[in-house]
Amino acid sequence: MAKVSDIVLWDKPGERVLLLGNQAIARGALEANIAVYAAYPGTPSSELTDTMAVVSKKAGVYMEYSTNEKVAFETALAAAWSGLRAMTAMKHVGLNVAADTFLSAVGMGVEGGFVIMVADDPSMWSSQNEQDTRIYAKFANVPVLEPSDPQEAKEMTKYAFELSEKFKHFVILRTTTRTSHARGDVVLGELPEEIKQGKRKFGKFKKDPNRFVDVPANARKFHPVILEKIEKIREELNNCPFNWIEGDENAKVGIIAPGLSYAYVKEALAWLGVDDVKILKLGTPFPVPYGLLEKFFQGLEMVLIVEELEPVVEEQVKTWAYDRGFTIPIHGKDLVPRVYEMTTRRAVTAIAKFLGLETPINFEELDAKYEKVKPLLPPRPPSLCPACPHRNSFYAIKKATRARAIYPSDIGCYTLGLLPPLQTVDTTVAMGASIGIAHGLSIAQNGSLSEEQRNPEKQVIVATIGDSTFYHTGLPALANAIYNRSNVLIVVLDNLVTAMTGDQPNPSTGQTPHGMGKRIPIEDVAKAMGADFVAVVDPYDIKTTYETIKKALEVEGVSVVVSRQVCALYKVGQMRRRGMKWPIYQVNEEKCTGCRVCINAYGCPAIYWDEEKRQARVEPTMCWGCGGCAQVCPFGAFEPVKEGSQ
Amino acid sequence: MREYNIVITGVGGQGVLTAANVLGWAALRAGYKVRIGEVHGMSQRFGSVISYVRFGEDVYGSMVPEGKADVMLSFEPVEALRYINYLKEGGVVVVNTKPIVPVQVSMGMAKYPSLEEIRKVFEEDFKAKWIGFNAEELAEQAGHVVTTNTVLIGALTQIPEFPLDAEHVREVIKLSVPPKAVEMNMKAFDLGIKAAKEILGL
């Protein structure tokens, strides 16, 4: 099939293509003539940014991978202040990072359309919590648009820019994992001339200190303006093309279905064979347009709101209905779970209960049957890849600390160091938090080096953090730890790429989508900040890594060891594309004593246990040739036996 | 056809998403409305994965509800069993019988069930049709183990009442693999077809 980068830029209006929700949003932004795009990757939003990265040059759009969500937000916002159409994207927890700017700047409004794409992750497939961005939208009094399929995601993106420009207000485009990571058929629309020609657009910033300087005297004027705007937008949304009433006009029962829940409701009703209901399809869960509610409620005797996560729509509808004097029953979170993601099963179960029907499948029976299967299933959590340099770093850290340290860690692939056999991750909270937590632990357990009273029974603390995370929010925490005379070892797991979200570049990579940026070596930063010990190691050399960590642990103060080796998944991908080969390790049966160190202490997924021979074995299709096994085996049983290209 | 539901299961990195994409494009080119549901990010790294492919005149959400999959395409036996509750009664499973043993099993923290045990649950408890064979071996015969998913897709096209034409699916694979890998993948596709035909007695 054609490459996605080509499809997203195709000048073929009317063509029907298969696109990921995130790619459809990128196309929508192009059709809206976007000028500036800035974001930090975060699952499930990342593919939008990656798509913009590969099309931006041709489309004349300025695009950057920013170092965190707050600075990405500010980059795009300033462009919107300069009259350009601008967009930023992040995952739900990313909005927390950008929240400071978001909540303060909303009163200033924008000149060019400004769209904030936020991807929520109900059920937390790749996240640390399942916060509902619609609550943020309500908190900030910013309208939120929520698509129900990839086609609508594209159309809504265009509409979001128009709405933002019309009201000079921020607009949030909210997706969930199941819209961002759903592929569906999308009909391409027209691309503007400037995008087709790849013409870079420049804006003009008109100085207005009364608007853009958020001193209290100005801020006081903003809040009432925001409230006025949101009520006007609520009016406008009565005519929003993504809100409509459908189904049986004379029905006595009504279902309100915001965003993606609309898809589940439609499917559930078809499955139940029910058609005598009225549906209010809501593309704008906040603010809910009252005019449309008024129409929808006519003739209804009961209403069900099927929404994912928090009762955002439910609370608005119930408040409105009370004020209007409606006394019919309005159901919502009493029938639809408030945690984890919406599914057709959940929708069908809630609607069946609401209407007093049987579900089309006896789910309890199915569950009971599946309960009997569960004991047969070995767990298979995600794991660090074969040849992952982080495995070696963790192995060396654990050995050097004799497994007795506290190990605060951070957000990235390396969080998987939590699992056996490595078990070198004791805390993970939020981006950059490993260094802050390590410092706090050091103060709580040992005291500060600058204090007179310190705890003589020193507790060793070893924090781990990735390169991208280090630049995201690790920097201020490192400055804080050094300034306050902490006593910690920070191992920066520098694999030169933002691996977990799909190999995006960062300051440690140096490369940007447009060519070379300026690489910032982590060790230079640590030295400049005044760390007490700084070293760089190659984790593929386990012995030196171990010895360097041992040395670092003896130093009082903040030690920074940069453990640098390129991400194995990234490297193998590149090698495969170039047709390159790498050594594959095998177990020499003469030498393997069956001691299990490679399995019980090192834990490479390519190594398994041969139950019959009581020896370790390497699965050749999974070996990526790092040779770590050969270094940890006390008997030299692992040998590179052939060149492979698996 | 109102809807046809496929679940694809396996271990992250085996090509589950690629297979879903191939089937999705084939369905789109056949004129159907298409939905594919995927999971990205950390959950993909050598962990258990499931993807959904749905097509027809009337499809909405990207996830197949439990008990509603017409077929399951599985790259690994335990990962077939893990998602058996998605299969409808009388559904079909096309499964690569070559196991990938999780680290937890090698460490002695868990047990890997036998292939016979797995097959029994499919056939007896869930009344499913089992099409199991070592697809990795056939992929190696075709030229490289990376063609395992092509072998399995080939086999999938042979199951009774499968709504996509095998030749259409073949076209999409041809277009989606690098030019130098086309021949190898075509061979893998044919080996998959042959394996399924033998098992089904066609």
Mean per-residue pLDDT, A614-637: 96
User: For residue A644, what pLDDT is reported?
Assistant: 58
Q: CA of A265: how far to CAs of A348, B31, B55, in Å?
A: 7, 24, 18
CA A395 to chain centroid, in Å, comes to 28
Residue A4: the pLDDT is 86
C-alpha B168/C-alpha B162 separation (Å) is 12
A643, pLDDT greater than 80 = no
* Mean pLDDT along residues B100-106: 93
**What 3-state class would DSSP assign to A440?**
helix
Residue B12 carries which DSSP code?
A: T
Cα–Cα distances (Å) from A217 to A214, A222, B115, in that order, read 8, 10, 73
Give chain B positions within 8 Å (CB) of A411: none
Token pair for B110: 């868990």
Q: Is the pLDDT of residue A646 over 60?
A: no
> CB B78 to CB A266 under 8 A?
no
The DSSP bridge partners found for residue A244 are A281
Residues, chain A: 646
* Cα B65 from Cα A264, distance rounded (Å): 10
The predicted structure's pLDDT at residue B119 = 98
pLDDT of residue A456: 84
User: pLDDT above 70 covers what percent of chain A?
Assistant: 99
> pLDDT of A538-557, one tens digit each?
999 999 999 999 999 999 99
B35 vs A17, A184, A501: nearest CB: A184
Residues in chain A within 8 Å Cβ distance of B36? 18, 182-184
Locate A636 and state its tokens.
Answer: 């030299």
Per residue in A9-63, pLDDT tens? 999 999 999 999 999 999 999 999 999 999 999 999 999 999 999 999 999 999 9
The DSSP code for A401 is T
The mean of the pLDDT values for chain A is: 96
Indicate yes or no: CB of B81 within 8 angstroms of CB of A377.
yes
Residue A549's contacts (CB-CB under 8 Å, 6 or more residues apart) are: A396, A397, A400, A401, A462, A489, A491, A561
CA distance A537 to A562: 6
Q: Across residues B32-40, what is the average pLDDT?
A: 92
**pLDDT tens column, A243-257:** 999 999 999 999 999
Helix (H, G, I), strand (E, B) or coil at B60: coil
CA dist B63 and A178 (Å) reads 8
Radius of gyration of chain A (CA): 27
Is A600 close to B109, i.e. CB distance below 8 A? no
Question: Which residues from B are below 8 Å from A619, CB to CB?
Answer: 100-101
CB A385 within 8 A of CB A624: yes
Using DSSP, state whether A179 is helix, strand or coil.
Answer: helix
User: Burial code of A55-88, b = ≥16 C-beta within 10 A, e = fewer?
Assistant: bbebbbbbbbbbbbbbbbbbbbbbbbbbbbbbbb
Min Cα–Cα distance to chain B from A597, Å: 10
Close Cβ partners of A509 (under 8 Å, ≥ 6 residues apart): A467, A496, A497, A519
* First CA to last CA distance, chain A: 24
- Cβ contact (<8 Å) for A605 and B118? no
The answer to whether the Cβ–Cβ distance between A379 and B110 falls below 8 Å is yes
Element containing residue A118 per DSSP (H, E): strand A114-120
| Secondary element (H or E) of residue A18 | strand A16-20
Q: How far is A35 from chain B (nearest CA, A)?
A: 28
Minimum-distance CB partner of B42 among A18, A271, A413: A413
Nearest chain A Cα distance for residue B49, angstroms: 9
Query: Does the structure show a pLDDT above 70 at B126?
Result: yes
Query: Is there a contact between A519 and A508 (Cβ–Cβ < 8 Å)?
Result: yes
DSSP state of A520: -
Q: How confident is the model at residue B39, as a pLDDT?
A: 81
pLDDT for the residue A1: 72
Q: How far apart are CA A261 and CA A350, in angstroms?
A: 12
Other CB atoms within 10 A of residue B157 CB: 21
C-alpha angle A503-A508-A509 in degrees, rounded to nearest 5: 45
Select the residue of A184, A266, A370 nearest B34 (Cβ to Cβ).
Answer: A184
What spatial distance separates the first Cα and last Cα of chain B, rounded to whole Å? 25
Inter-chain CB proximity A363 and B67 less than 8 Å: yes
d(CA A36, CA A111): 14
Look at residue B66 and tell me whether its pLDDT is greater than 90.
yes
Q: How does pLDDT run across A153-195, given as a tens digit for each residue?
A: 999 999 999 999 999 999 999 999 999 999 999 999 999 999 9
pLDDT band with cut points at 50, 70 and 90 for residue A576: confident
Beta-bridge partner residues of B69: B87
CA A623-A627-A630 angle, 5° bins = 115
Are A361 and B67 within 8 A, CB to CB? yes
| Separation CA A167–CA B194 (nearest Å) | 62
Please check the confidence at residue A439 and state whether its pLDDT lies above 80: yes
pLDDT at B43 > cutoff 70: no
DSSP summary character for residue A598: I
Judge whether residue B41 has pLDDT over 80. Answer: no
Tell me what the mean pLDDT of segment B63-77 comes to.
97
Nearest to A290 by CA among A238, A359, A331, A337: A238
Which candidate from A20, A182, A607 shows the least CB-CB separation from B106?
A607
Residue A547: how many CB atoms within 10 A of its CB?
A: 14
Whether the CB-CB separation of A401 and A374 falls below 8 Å is answered with: no
What digits encode the pLDDT tens for the residues A470-514?
A: 999 999 999 999 999 999 999 999 999 999 999 999 999 999 998
The predicted-structure confidence for A126-142, as pLDDT tens digits, reads as follows 999 999 999 999 999 99
Task: Answer whether B45 sits within 8 Å of A43, measured CB to CB.
Answer: no
Average pLDDT over residues A592-606: 96
CB distance A420–B107 less than 8 Å? yes
The token pair at A49 is 């940014």
Cβ contacts of A270 on chain B, cutoff 8 Å = 58
What is the mean predicted confidence (pLDDT) over A89-113? 98
- A328, B98, B149 from A292: Cα distances, Å: 17, 56, 49
Angle of CA points A501, A507, A509, to nearest 5°? 70
Distance CA B73, CA B53 (A): 10
C-alpha dist (Å) from residue A363 to A321, A359, B50: 34, 8, 20
Q: What residue has token string 């950390």?
A: B42
Select the more confidently predicted residue: A4 or A336. A336
Cα–Cα nearest to A394, from A369, A412, A367: A412
